[in-house]
Amino acid sequence: MKRRGFLLALAAFPALRAWAAGQAGAGQEQATAFAPVLPGRQLVFPRDHGAHPDFRTEWWYATGWLKLADGSPLGFQITFFRVRTGIGEDNPSAFAPRQLLLAHAAIADPRHGRLRHDQRSARSGFGRATYAQETTDVRVGDWRFALVGDSYRAEVRGEEFAYALNLRPDAPPLLNGKAGFSVKAPDPRHASYYYSRPQLAVSGTLSLDGRAQPVSGRAWLDHEWSSELLPTAAQGWDWIGINLDDGGALMAFRLRDHRQGTLWAAATLRAAASARGADGAGQRAPASEILAPEAVEFVPLRQWRSPRTGIEYPVEWRIRVGRRSFRLLPLLDDQELDSRRSTGAIYWEGAVRLQEEGREDGPGGRGYLEMTGYGERIRVG
């Protein structure tokens, strides 16, 4: 949904507009005809791995669990946002900020006690910030996320950490919603094109405190693009992307109102590895189930209050998907990410464990939870 549905960059769009206008030097934002998200459009690969600059907002979002050589677990996140600002569209100058690129990266290390994170932002162009339309290849400075051959490559160099990771898929993209048309509210105008790549096999190196170490693990990728803003009643959202231990996958989200009630919800449940069928292209195409709003429930179980912002987040959850119920537990409580220097928002983005309730033989899993709008309401324009 962003990471999972409606984008963090889109949610903070007023701040982005102001930043872009300042970079442009002057001028009012003109009415812009952003490309609409419509049902019935077939996602086509590899083209839809690339950027879609006619739409307002887009992101590539990879999260996962890593393991150090001594077995210690870590979480990692990298997100690249592309934002069409609606500013300078008729300006021939290469300095016009028609497109912005922003990036977040983080490492969740229980031994450190809180999230290590960093961020970048730049207007597109001049070799400083670039994106490709024919495949995944987005860059801001020396940060990069790209599809190279059959694997994704993530490269980040932050103040407290750095990593260079390869993420290899084992199956075709998982299309969320109706064939990739993912509705976010009762009004179908509030929709995105959205697919995931679960169960990415990760290998590479991670540097912490100046020491490079080999790592391995399992990751999840979301790619989503849209043009509509959040519904005015929306306060924020909760989202999970979980790689199940049996080879399956679970994506679920809900949009919340100001009383923390559910405005909309949805989920995609991919079958276990043993239930996959051939897709005719050398990979195995897993069966998946798309669940309606009434079949998805998020129930908070335990709260944690940030010592820096005072925001209280529910960090343990019970999540119902159809007839199945899951317990969600954080790798560590303090996984708050302050992105006020780029997208303008503060949110919780963290590594979590999942266990199916009521079934001793039920699959566990590991993945990520994102929660927005628990402090200020997500701004929508």
Domain ranges for the chain, please list them. Answer: 8-23+44-371
For residues 131 and 53, the answer to whether their CB atoms sit within 8 Å is yes
DSSP 42: P
- In single-letter form, the type of residue at position 301 comes to L
SS (H, E, C) 274-300: HHCEECCCCCEECCEEEECHHHEEEEE
Structure-token pair, residue 40:
């019935």
Smallest CA-to-CA distance from 201 within 136, 273, 141, 263 is with 273
pLDDT of residue 7: 42
Pairing of strands 364-371, 236-244: antiparallel
Smallest CA-to-CA distance from 233 within 59, 58, 373 is with 373
- pLDDT tens per residue across all 381 residues of the chain: 554 333 444 444 444 444 444 444 444 445 789 999 999 999 999 999 999 999 999 999 999 999 999 999 999 999 999 999 888 777 877 777 889 999 999 999 999 988 999 999 888 887 789 999 999 999 999 999 999 999 999 999 998 999 999 999 999 999 999 999 999 988 888 999 999 999 999 999 999 988 999 999 999 999 999 998 888 888 899 999 999 999 999 999 999 988 888 999 999 999 887 655 444 344 556 689 999 999 999 999 999 999 989 999 999 999 999 999 999 999 999 999 877 655 557 889 999 999 999 876 767 999 999 999 998 655 533
- pTM for this model (two decimals): 0.88
> 8-23+44-371 has which fold?
AttH-like fold (2.40.370)
Q: Which helix (H) or strand (E) holds 165?
A: strand 161-168
Q: CA 78 to CA 61: how far, in whole Å?
A: 6
pLDDT of residue 13: 41
Task: Report how far Cα 308 is from the mean position of its chain's Cα atoms.
Answer: 24
Half-sphere exposure for 372 (CA within 13 Å, toward CB): 32
For residues 172 and 156, the answer to whether their CB atoms sit within 8 Å is no
For residues 312 and 304, the answer to whether their CB atoms sit within 8 Å is yes
3-class secondary structure, 299: strand
Q: CA 207 to CA 105: how far, in whole Å?
A: 13
The residues, ordered by sequence, that sit 6+ positions from 72 with a Cβ below 8 Å of its Cβ are 110, 111
Q: CA 163 to CA 155: how far, in whole Å?
A: 6
